[in-house]
A and B are shown apart, each in its own frame.
Chain A
Amino acid sequence: MSNESQRPERVTIILHSGDMDKVYSALIIGTGALAMGMEASIFFTFWGLQRLKKSGLEKGPLSKMHFLGLGKWMVRQRMKKANVATLERLMRDFKELGGKVIACEMTMEIMGIRREDLREDWIDAYGAVGTYIQEARGAQITLFI
């Protein structure tokens, strides 16, 4: 317990969705927490895990008004105009500031995803629910996205 209380404050996020806008939410909150002096970890599970596949990070559909990709394309244009960072850049910043990426092993099993299919350079740990609970039990903020 005493070790737990000495750890810096932290945020843990479960990213269950693979939708582009929700991946943005997770990475913006994660990098924001790191920038403000907290620790942060993102547990990529189910559809979220698809985004850890090689060249998969930017591939998610829009959660609403995707319209076979037209909606996503329009939102992307707006984002470019507003100079919003790419997901690749946010992930790079997240890792550089010490953010942890955890990949869900059960999802890998269900979906037949092998470690070599994933961006292993981003992944700090492969885990299941116990890993998440251990991360979250002492966290000040936990989110399910």
Chain B
Amino acid sequence: MAEILVDCRGETCPVPLVETRKAIRQAQPGDIIVVVGTHPASREEIPMAVRALGLELLSVEGTETDWTIRIRR
């Protein structure tokens, strides 16, 4: 199982969401995708996308403007 890091710090809408989606597409089932970012709305929206895609949201940590989201493909 690989761990894939998506660094979206400093990026704004819709880049964090899009980069997360690209990483999910490239990941193998079971891989962990770790997204770090600073865009407040994406902290809420990436989990929405994860649920819509039927994947597992492992954790959402940090503040609105400095967060880490972990996803299992």
Residues of A close to B1: CB separation below 8 A: none
Q: Looking across the interface, which residue of chain B has its beta carbon closest to that of A96?
A: B22
Interface majority SS (helix, strand, loop, mixed), chain B: helix
CA distance A34 to B48 in the complex (A): 13
In the complex where A83-B10, A83-B11, A83-B12 touch, is A37 in contact with B18 (Cβ < 8 A)? no
- Tell whether, in the assembled complex, residue B12 and residue A36 are in contact, meaning their CB atoms are under 8 Å apart: no
- Tell whether, in the assembled complex, residue A35 and residue B21 are in contact, meaning their CB atoms are under 8 Å apart: yes
Q: Looking across the interface, which residue of chain B has its beta carbon closest to that of A89?
A: B15
A-facing residues in B1-58 (Cβ within 8 Å): 10-15, 17-18, 20-22, 25, 48-49, 52-53
Residues of B close to A32: CB separation below 8 A: 13-14, 17-18
- Tell whether, in the assembled complex, residue B22 and residue A97 are in contact, meaning their CB atoms are under 8 Å apart: yes
Chain B interface residue count, CB cutoff 8 Å, equals 16
- Tell whether, in the assembled complex, residue B15 and residue A85 are in contact, meaning their CB atoms are under 8 Å apart: yes
- Tell whether, in the assembled complex, residue B53 and residue A36 are in contact, meaning their CB atoms are under 8 Å apart: yes
CA distance A93 to B18 in the complex (A): 7
CA distance A83 to B8 in the complex (A): 11
- Tell whether, in the assembled complex, residue A28 and residue B14 are in contact, meaning their CB atoms are under 8 Å apart: yes
New contact pairs (14) apart from A31-B18, A84-B12, CB-CB < 8 Å:
A28-B13, A31-B17, A32-B14, A35-B14, A35-B17, A36-B48, A36-B49, A82-B12, A83-B11, A85-B12, A90-B14, A93-B18, A96-B22, A97-B18
Interface residues, chain A, CB within 8 Å of chain B?
A: 28, 31-32, 34-37, 82-85, 90, 93, 96-97
